[in-house]
Structure 1
Amino acid sequence: MALFGLFRSKAHERRGFELYGQAVQAARQPYFYAELSVPDTLDGRFDIVGLYVALLIRRLHRDADPRGAKLAQAVFDAMFADMDTNLREMGVGDMSISRRVKNMWEAFHGRAQAYEAPLEAGDAAGLATALARNVWRGTLPDDDDRPARLAAAALRTDTALAAQPLDALLAGRARFPEVTA
């Protein structure tokens, strides 16, 4: 019985990495960096990857099936395993890796919490405010429409993910809509 549980968790782990990879691909769409001028930096990319992973995890947690929560944890674990690997590849010293990953976890968690209420309410303006603060670090003028455009894309993605059956996600298949002007 314990051996069977081991294989089951490995399946979630594998699917978590597959889904995480798909979220990263969606976050790499040139639209974010070319049209919305999201900073094409480690921080800017982390913000968009974090947004897409948060949307995916949100979808998985909303499912009544307990496998959704397990898969959400696997996606989260995949993200931070990838962050650890990337930091190591960039030459960050072993002694500071855990601190940096912890800081990234805290940033991700804070952003996911800031986005949750506006997503739940379908509040595009509230989501745009949170995105302006986090993605552009509050540097945009109040009348700039880029945070609203990113919020609209996030809400469309949230809706698209909500419509996808858990079975597809459990098989490691998520469809993220293409983002265009």
Structure 2
Amino acid sequence: MGLSALFRRKPHERAGFLLYGAAVAAARHPYFFDRLGAPDSLDGRFDLVGLHVALLIHRLRRDADARGAALAQAVFDAMFADMDVNLREMGVGDLAVGKRVRRMWEAFHGRAQAYEAALEAADAEAFAAALQRNVWRSEGEASPAARRLAGHARATAAALAAQPLAPLLRGEVRFPDPVPGPEEPADAA
């Protein structure tokens, strides 16, 4: 292997980072924190980023073109490269970073499986219950906020599914803005 191979980018790496950045931006929408009461904490932000990334990966993996799955892997890689950098910037020691990233990966994987199962089954209640458990860290009946977030997630999944692969391969994606519920003022977002 030549020296240039060490510095060569992986296929879809740039697009993966761009798509991941768009998912992070969508997850930081003030509506989730101000109106839905999602915890504005490291865990709360991780859960909302994880939700948006899981929806994006779900869309990419379902594409008939094999590049969709490769791009999904690039988004996943970008997410966990970013988590590694963020932990280091927060002062987590080198020896602990790997363990923390692994726990984050396991948490993300479990959440993504629950969200995907609910999407595939078109089970709005299961989706809301998974969000209640993961975002708000509580069991039992889903809150109105968890139901609204589940509705937004299902709408986001549909919007992502409607987007062709070509722009996604360039790192271009459109996440819909959250729409306030009927009991919320229209300017809530």
TM-score in terms of structure 2 length: 0.89
* Partner deviation per Cα, 1:15-58 (whole Å, 9 max, x = no partner): 00000000000000000000110000000000000000000000
Structure 2 residue matching 1:10: 3-state secondary structure = coil
- Structure 2: which amino acid aligns with 1:150? L
Question: What residue in structure 1 maps to residue 173 of structure 2?
Answer: 174
Percent pairwise identity: 64
User: What do residues 95-146 of structure 1 show as CA deviations (whole Å, max 9, x unaligned)?
Assistant: 100000000000000000111111112211110011101111116x736301
Q: Which residue of 2 aligns with 1:100?
A: 100
Unaligned 5+ runs, structure 1 = none
Alpha-carbon displacement from aligned partner over 1:35-88 (angstroms, at most 9, x marks no partner): 110000000000000000000000000001110000000000000000000000
4+ long deviations beyond 4 Å: none
Greater helix share, structure number: 1
Q: Which whole-Å CA distance do the structure 2 matches of 1:124 and 1:134 have between them?
A: 15
Q: How many residues are matched?
A: 177
CA distance in 1, matches of 2:31, 2:87: 26
Q: Distance in 1 between matches of 2:101 and 2:137?
A: 20
Amino acid at match of 1:154: A
Match for 2:165: what amino acid?
A: L
Partners of 1:121 and 1:13 in 2: how far apart?
A: 32
- Once the two structures are TM-superposed, the CA of residue 180 in structure 1 deviates from its matched residue by 2.6
Q: Which runs of 5+ in 2 are unaligned?
A: 181-189
User: Residue 10 in 1 paired to residue 2 in 2?
Assistant: no
Match of 1:56 in 2: 56
Partner of 1:113: 113
Aligned to 1:164: 163
- CA distance in 2: counterparts of 1:156 and 1:178, whole angstroms: 10
| Distance in structure 1 (CA, Å) of the matches to 2:78 and 2:143 | 34
Q: 2:141, 2:10 → 1: CA distance?
A: 47
Could you tell me whether the CA contact under 8 Å between 2:132 and 2:142 is conserved in 1?
no
State the partner residue of 2:73: 73
Residue number in structure 1 paired with 2:183: none
The aligned runs of 1:123-162 (5 Å cut-off) are: 123-138=123-138, 142=141, 144-162=143-161
In 2, the alpha carbon distance for the partners of 1:108 and 1:75 equals 13
